Structure 1
Amino acid sequence: MNIQTTLQSVLIAAAINLSIAVQVHAQEWILTPQTYVGFDVKSMGFSIVKGKFEQVQSSMRFDPAAPQNASAQFLMDVNSLSLSKPSLEDMIFGEDLFYVEKYPTATFNSHEFVSLGNNQYRIKGDLTLRGITRPVILDTSLKPNPSDPQLIDVQSKTVLNRSDFGMKKAFAGIGEKVNIEVSGQWQLK
C-alpha cells in the first residue's frame, strides 16, 4: 500500500467519523402546539384573511454547529384551518382555492439549510399545495431560548403566488401574494 492510498483511507475514515458525529449531535425537534403556522392574504395593502393551521405535524433535525445537515418537514391538515373571516370558508376551502375535498393536506420538505450567521438561515425546500409542488425559500431565525435549553425560538417567512399552486388569480378581490409564516418555538422531542 502506498502513501497516497493510505492517506486517502485515513481521510475517508475521518469523513465517515465526522459524519457520524454530526448526526449524533443533531437533535430532533417538533413545533410547540402554540406555534403559529399560517398565512395572510392582502389586497390593496389591507389584510383580507388570515388562516392558521390548527393541526400540524412537524419535525426538524438540527444542530447549530452543522446546519448544512439539518432538515425540516411539515404536514398541515388543511381542514384544520381557522380563518379570521369564517364567512369566507366556503370559498377558501372550495375548488377555486385550497380544494380541500381533493387535497386535504399541504406539505413542506426542506432540502437545504443555509446559515447566514447570527442565528439566521435560508431554508430551501419544496411546498406542495393542491397536488402541485414548487420550490420555496423560508427566511428563518432559529434562536436558542434564553430561559429554556429545550426550546428554539423560530420566526420564518416566505411569500408566494396563489396561482403557482393552481389557485384562481385575484378571485373576489383577494390578492395574488400570500404571506406564509411560522412563529413560535421548536421543542426538543
Structure 2
Amino acid sequence: MNIQTTLQSILIASVINLSIVAQIHAQEWTLTPQTYVGFNVKSMGFSIVKGKFEQVQSGMSFDPARPQNASAQFVLYVNSLSLSKPSLENMILGEDLFYAEKYPTATFNSHEFISLGNNHYSIKGDLSLRGVTQQVVLDTFLNPNSTNPQLMDVEAKTVVKRSDFGMKKAFGGIGEKVNIEISGQWQRK
C-alpha cells in the first residue's frame, strides 16, 4: 500500500465515523398529542376562525449541535379539523377551500434548518395543500424543557396566502392571509 492509498483509506474511515457519530447524536422526536397544530384567519384585525388539526403524524430528527442535519415532517389530516366556528365546517372543508374529499391530507417536509441563535431556527420546507406545493419558512423556537429532558418546547409560525394553494380568494370578509401555528412540545421517541 502506498501513502496516498493509506491516506485515502484513513479519510474514508474518518468520514464514515463522523457520519455515524452525527447519527448517534441526532434524536428522533414526535409531537405530543396536546400540541396545537392549526391556523387562524383574520379579517380587519379580528380573528374570525381558528382551526386545529386533531390528527397529525409528525417526526423530527434533531441535534442542536448540528441543526444543518435536522429534518421535520408533518402529515395533517384535513377531516380532523376542529373549528372555533363549527357552522363554517362545510364551507372550510368544501371545494372552495380545503376540498377535503379530494385532498384528505396536507403535508410539510423540511429541507433546511438554519440556526439564528438562542434556540431560534428558520426552518425552510415545502407545504402541500390541495395538490399544490409551495416553499414556506417556519419561524421556530425549540427550547429544552426545564423539567423533562424527554420533551422539547416548540413554538413555530408562518403566514401563507390561501390563493397560492388554489383556494378561493378572499370572500365574505375572510382575509387572504392564513396564520399557521405549532405550539406545544416534541417528545423524544
Mark yes or no: TM-score above 0.5.
Answer: yes
**How far 1:2 moved relative to its partner?**
5.4
The residue number in structure 2 matching 1:69 is 69
* Corresponding residue number in structure 2 for 1:79: 79
The equivalent of 2:176 in structure 1 is 176
Match of 1:29 in 2: 29
Q: Residue 49 of structure 2 aligns with which residue? A: 49
Unaligned runs of 5+ residues in structure 2 are none
2:95 maps to which residue?
95
Structure 1 segments of 4 or more deviating over 2 A? 1-13
Paired AA for residue 183 in structure 1: S
Match of 2:122 in 1: 122
CA RMSD of superposed structures (Å): 1.2
Q: TM-score, normalised by structure 2?
A: 0.96
CA distance in 1, matches of 2:22, 2:35: 28
Q: Which residue of 2 aligns with 1:11?
A: 11
Q: Quick one: percent identity of the two aligned structures?
A: 80
Deviation at 1:20, TM superposition (A): 1.1
Q: Which residue of 2 aligns with 1:159?
A: 159
Provide the C-alpha distance between the structure 2 equivalents of 1:56 and 1:115, rounded to a whole number of angstroms.
25
TM-score (norm 1): 0.96
- Any idea what the Cα deviations from partners look like across 1:102-158, whole Å, max 9, x if unmatched? 001110111111111111111111111001111111010001001000000000000
Uncovered stretches (5+) of structure 1, i.e. residues with no partner: none
Structure 2 CA distance, aligned partners of 1:87 and 1:113?
38
Distance in 1 (CA, whole Å) between partners of 2:137 and 2:183 is 16
- Aligned residue-pair number: 189
**Helix, strand or coil at the partner of 1:40:** strand
Q: Which letter maps to 2:75?
A: L
Q: Distance in 2 between matches of 1:184 and 1:110?
A: 19
Q: Residue 173 of structure 1: CA displacement?
A: 1.3
